[in-house]
Amino acid sequence: MKAESRLAPPATRRGAGLRFLLVLMAVAAVYGASAAATEFHPVVVVRDADVFVQLLGEMWPDNRERWVFLLTDFLPRLKVPFIQTLQIAILGTLAGAVLAVPFVVLASNNLTRNPVVYAAAKALMNLLRTVPELLYASIFVAAVGFGPFPGVLALTVFSMAIVAKLTSESVEAVDPGPLEALEAAGATRAQVIAYAVVPQVLPLFVSYVLYVFEINVRVSTVLGLVGAGGIGQQLQLMLSLFQYENAFIIILATFVLVAAIDYASARVRARLV
């Protein structure tokens, strides 16, 4: 008996199969409860597949003339809203990046020694980051009205929080050696930050700003859905007018734009870091 138990697998291993089964059942139960509450039935997806296929059919322009019209007449008219979308993303990203700088200093424990200020700055950045961009956009639409202005505000707040959080984490990870060396040489605090911290963090900061710009381009295409300007407003309009072919062209163009910017930005970021 004793010899046998010594050969048996350790207790943690023995219970693993049963535990896996219990976790699986728990996940299934949560899924079932959520589906029941939201009246979501996977069966419906299969049963009503023809409705989706029909919608896709309505979106797909079915003859040559329609394609020519959509690409030569409708698409050029999207230029202004698309440019507005990019402008919203650019303004939001740049303003957010600039506003992030003081928070980077306050939310880095090697630059801000006061624990209360540090904790407050870090908590504020985390709090701002938990709110989704579209929620900011709806709040600002309610506050200042429809149009691109609330969109820019929403992206500014969101970008500031992300850039400040990521950059302050990089600042906390810099090599402390040069900071100590400059301090020992009688440098002021501003000199230490400018010469020992900034050179180490600048490439990362630029990379984070580009990363946030990628996110902002994607978000700015849907800001219009809550009335915050850009191409999303056109998409919303076409869907509400049942102009599915036009909506399809907007989605297609959005996809191309976002993919192109993602690709270009990722290339630049790869060279930076």
Partner 1 sequence: MALLVVRGLRVRYPGAQEDALRGVDLELAPGEFVCVLGPSGAGKSTLIRCINRLVEPASGQIIWDGHDAMRLKGAHLLAYRRQIGMIFQEFHLVDRLPVLANVLMGRFGYVSPWQAAIGRYGPQEVAWARQALARVGLAGYELRRARDLSGGQRQRVAIARALVQRPRLMLGDEPVSNLDPVTARAIMALLAEINRRDGLTMLINLHSVDLARAFATRVIGLSRGQVAFDGPPSRVDRSVLEQVYGTAG
Question: Which residues are near partner 1 by CB under 8 A?
Answer: 175, 177-178, 180-188, 190-191, 194-196, 199-200
Would you state the structure tokens that stand for residue 247, as one six-digit string?
A: 């909506």
Beta-carbon count within 10 A of 219 CB: 27
Shorter beta-carbon distance to partner 1: residue 46 or 185: 185
Query: Alpha-carbon torsion 65, 67, 69, 71, what sign?
Result: negative
- State the minimum distance, in angstroms, from the CB of residue 174 to partner 1: 10
- Other Cβ atoms less than 10 A from the Cβ of 195: the count is 14
As measured in angstroms, the least distance from the Cβ of 251 to partner 1 is: 43
Q: Toward partner 1, which CB reaches closer, 131 or 206?
A: 206
CB of 94 to partner 1, least distance (A): 22
Q: 42: which residues sit within 8 A by CB, 6+ positions away?
A: 35
If the CB atoms of residues 17 and 177 are measured against partner 1, the closer one turns out to be 177
Please state, in angstroms and rounded to a whole number, the distance separating the CA atoms of residues 188 and 190: 5
Min separation Cβ 114 and partner 1, Å: 15
CB nearer partner 1, residue 198 or residue 260? 198
Q: Residue 82 in contact with residue 231, Cβ under 8 Å?
A: yes
List CB contacts of 225: < 8 A, sequence separation 6 or more. Answer: 134, 232, 233, 235, 236
Smallest gap from Cβ 191 to partner 1, in A, equals: 5
Nearer CB in complex with partner 1: 137/182: 182
